[in-house]
Amino acid sequence: MTDNWIEQLKWTEDGLIPAIAQDHKSGRVLMMAWMNREALEKTIQEGRAIYWSRSRKKLWRKGEESGHVQKLYDIRIDCDQDVVLMQVEQLGGIACHTGRESCFYLRFADQQWQPADPVLKQPEDIYNR
């Protein structure tokens, strides 16, 4: 695979790019995470979302622990070439480690952040804790 396409992207100083996962049918934003070059290359090669875990400092195949894999349908970049947008199928219907469909489940109301989406599965049941 030629590296020219990957060099066209604008990476952060630490070699990362924000990546947004969006449901390919509904358009709902499921999550945002970071990718390094290897994660982006492997995402395209394997046809599933693979991120860079900043806390663990390693590749993170979405669903490797939970089973909630993100199957890649389409991948795009924005006009500034500094954000990746992926259209995915969220297997299992849960993208968030809290057991919700989306990581964007908190809504601002009454001067505070309040949960707006239900927990579909308890995290301890997902991760066997």
Q: What is the DSSP string of 38-69?
A: HHHHHHHHHTB-EEEETTTTEEEETTTTTS--
- Residue in 16, 96, 6 with CA at minimum distance from that of residue 55: 16
Q: What's the whole-model pTM score?
A: 0.92
| Amino acid making up residue 99 | G
Q: What per-residue confidence (pLDDT) applies to 1?
A: 47
**Structure tokens of 113?**
């952040």
Distance CA 91, CA 93 (A): 5
User: pLDDT below 50 — which residues of the chain?
Assistant: 1
Residue pair 109/39 in contact by the 8 Å Cβ criterion: no
pLDDT (tens digit per residue) in 104-125: 999 999 999 999 999 999 999 9
Domains belonging to the chain, first-starting first, are 4-95 (3.10.20.810)
Which 8-state DSSP code applies to residue 15? S
Q: What per-residue confidence (pLDDT) applies to 129?
A: 59
Please report where in the chains the tokens 């709902």 appear, as a residue. 28
Q: What is the DSSP string of 86-120?
A: EEEEEGGG--STTSSS-S--EEEETTEEEE-S--S
Which 8-state DSSP code applies to residue 63? T
